[in-house]
Amino acid sequence: MIRILRQIFHTGIVTEPLPQEEASGIEQVGAQLEETVRRRFSRSLAIRQVDAGSCNGCELEIHAINNPIYNCERFGIHFTASPRFADMLLVTGPVTRNMEIALRRTYNATPSPKLVVAVGDCGYNGGIFGESYASLGGVGKIIPVDVYIHGCPPTPVDLLSGILKAISVK
């Protein structure tokens, strides 16, 4: 136990402020995220992540925004186990034919008003997998999408900026 406590004190708080992003006009992603989540979602934004056919690359980065360095929970963002109490669906693509029905059902199980964010180049238009007998292409072909986050895979900062963009539009 003493070792655990020592390691905790020794590590300290590693969470970093998010970097400035001039190009996208977002001054401080973090501060704005926190502010918007507080104002519009009563301090808590619940996200349900759906893998509709990704290669697992995007999932790793979505995991990373939960790590102590990006620590998305400080902005009130947390991931839920069920779509029933989600405000937002974070969908990675391409949508495979075998996942289409499950994705539609998850969408229908999410209460309105709901936001849909499609993650990655594959979520945008199918990416390298394109459209074929097995891949139906981007998420937007199956359910309405509010915001796309580009990248293969998008970095954790891209993901947080994309989530901010989504909760700022509506």
Partner 1 sequence: MSMLKKAILSSLARDVEFIKGYQYPGSVHYCTVPGEKFAEAAKVMKDSYALLAAEWATDETLLGRGYGIFACYRWGSEYLIVKTLAQAKTPADDPAFQSLTKIFLPAFRFERQMQSLMGVRPLNHPDSRPWIKFEDWPEDAWPLRKSFDATLPMPRVAGEYNWIRAEGEGVYEIPVGPVHAGIIEPGHFRFQAVGEEILNLEERLGYVHKGIEKRFEAFSWEEGYRLAGRVSGDTTVAHSIAYCMALESMTGSRPPDRAYWIRAVFLERERIANHLGDIGAICNDAAFAFMFYQMMRLKEMVLRTNQKLFGHRFIMDKVIPGGVAVDIDEKGKQEMLAELDWLAKEFEKLVVIYRENPSLEDRVRDTGILKSKRARELCVVGIVARASGLNLDCRIYNPFPPYDQLDRIELDVPVLITGDVHARTKVRIDEVRESIRIIRMMLAELPDGKLTNPVALPSAESAGFSAVEGWRGEIIYWLQAGPKGEVNRCMVRDPSSVNWLGLERAITGNIVPDFPLCNKSFNQSYSGHDL
What are the residues binding partner 1 (CB under 8 A)? 3-4, 7-8, 11, 14, 49-64, 66-69, 79, 81-83, 94, 96-99, 102, 106, 127-136, 152-153, 155
Cα(53)–Cα(85) distance, rounded to whole angstroms? Answer: 23
CB of 39 to partner 1, least distance (A): 26
For every residue of 111-162, DSSP letters joined together read PSS-EEEEEHHHHHH-GGG-SSSSB---GGGTS--SEEE-SSSPPHHHHHHH
CB of 33 to partner 1, least distance (A): 19
Give whichever of 102 and 146 is closer to partner 1, judged by the CB atom.
102
CB of 135 to partner 1, least distance (A): 5
Cα(29)–Cα(4) distance, rounded to whole angstroms? Answer: 33
Give whichever of 36 and 54 is closer to partner 1, judged by the CB atom.
54
Give whichever of 27 and 134 is closer to partner 1, judged by the CB atom.
134
Token readout for 53 is 């056919």
- Regarding beta strands 20-21 and 26-28, do their DSSP bridges make them parallel or antiparallel, or are they unpaired? antiparallel
Helix axes 156-169, 29-40, angle to 10 degrees: 40
Give whichever of 38 and 102 is closer to partner 1, judged by the CB atom.
102
CB of 63 to partner 1, least distance (A): 6
CB of 73 to partner 1, least distance (A): 11
Give whichever of 31 and 69 is closer to partner 1, judged by the CB atom.
69
Considering only CA atoms, which of 15, 16, 55, 18 is closest in space to residue 163?
Answer: 18
